[in-house]
């Protein structure tokens, strides 16, 4: 299972590398929203309004990412720098996702390796995630190699144990037969 998981991660990283070339804003209508929170925000599009995460207020679709902080917790502005305590989710395909303070969104500095935090077009960010993730992928490849070697050693040890058990069982059977013969011989000598 671990080997399958490791191989799946490498395959996924390879796929996401090819997907990382398109613009983040084009691909992501919920800019700055983590995958864990997507369900929460999709409620905004089905019911036209949702409560702030802290439950203090409601906000509607037009107030979402409108660059004005309506919710005290910043949950209406995950993709803008309007709220001081809000967090922006960088997907960083090909590397590790991360959260940054939303005050860093569209500030002219590329904080996310995929450039998703500078989606307004004023700053051109190169997508450096694939290169940045190279070290992690190399570690993962080494871990996969170690897993494979461990699985191979385990398989070999199991095969050796089976052979040893069969040998011990055969010797036990022989000794039990020898015991019967010797007991019979003792009985005849009495």
Residues 125 and 43 in one domain: yes
Residues 44 and 86 in one domain: yes
| pLDDT computed for residue 80 by the predictor | 93
Which of 132, 159, 176 finishes a domain?
132
Which of 111, 132, 153 finishes a domain?
132
Residues 17 and 101 in one domain: yes
| pLDDT computed for residue 138 by the predictor | 93
| pLDDT computed for residue 48 by the predictor | 85
| pLDDT computed for residue 46 by the predictor | 86
Please calculate the CA angle 117-119-122 and round it to the nearest 5 degrees. 110
Q: How far is CA 144 from CA 3, 64, 133, in A?
A: 6, 43, 16
Residues 179 and 161 in one domain: yes
Residues 6+ apart with CB under 8 A from 54: 71, 72, 73, 75
Q: Where are the alpha helices (DSSP H) in 100-133?
A: 129-132
Residues 24 and 66 in one domain: yes
Q: Are 11 and 85 in contact (CB under 8 A)?
A: no
Residues 94 and 176 in one domain: no
Show the domain range for 14. Answer: 2-132
Residues 98 and 126 in one domain: yes
Return the structure tokens found at 109.
């500095």
Which of 132, 154, 179 finishes a domain?
132
Report how far residue 90's alpha carbon sits from residue 76's, in angstroms, rounded to the nearest whole number.
17
| pLDDT computed for residue 32 by the predictor | 93
| pLDDT computed for residue 15 by the predictor | 43
| Predicted confidence (pLDDT) per residue in 75-102, tens digit | 999 999 999 889 999 999 999 999 999 9
| pLDDT computed for residue 21 by the predictor | 36
Residues 85 and 144 in one domain: no
User: Which DSSP symbol is given to 79?
Assistant: T
How many structural domains compose the chain?
A: 2
Cβ-count burial 153-167 (b if 16+ within 10 Å, e if not): eeeeeeeeeeeeeee
Report how far residue 15's alpha carbon sits from residue 7's, in angstroms, rounded to the nearest whole number.
13
| Predicted confidence (pLDDT) per residue in 172-183, tens digit | 999 999 999 999
Residue numbers of the chain with a pLDDT score lower than 70: 1-28
Residues 106 and 15 in one domain: yes
């Amino acid at each position: 299972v671990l080997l399958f998981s490791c191989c799946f991660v490498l395959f996924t990283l390879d796929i996401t590398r090819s997907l990382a070339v398109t613009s983040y804003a084009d691909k992501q209508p919920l800019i700055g929203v983590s995958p864990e929170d997507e369900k929460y925000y999709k409620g905004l599009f089905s019911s036209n309004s949702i409560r702030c995460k802290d439950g203090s207020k409601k906000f509607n679709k037009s107030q979402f990412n409108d660059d004005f902080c309506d919710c005290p917790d910043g949950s209406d502005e995950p993709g803008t720098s309007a709220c001081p305590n809000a967090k922006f989710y960088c997907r960083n395909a090909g590397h590790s996702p991360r959260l940054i303070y939303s005050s860093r969104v569209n500030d002219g500095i590329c904080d996310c390796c995929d450039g998703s935090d500078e989606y307004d077009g004023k700053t051109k960010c190169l997508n450096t995630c694939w290169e940045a993730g190279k070290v992690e992928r190399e570690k993962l490849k080494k871990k996969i190699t170690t897993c494979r070697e461990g699985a191979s050693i385990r398989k070999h040890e199991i095969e050796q144990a089976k052979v040893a058990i069969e040998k011990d069982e055969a010797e036990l059977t022989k000794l039990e037969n020898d015991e019967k013969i010797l007991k019979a011989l003792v009985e005849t000598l009495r």
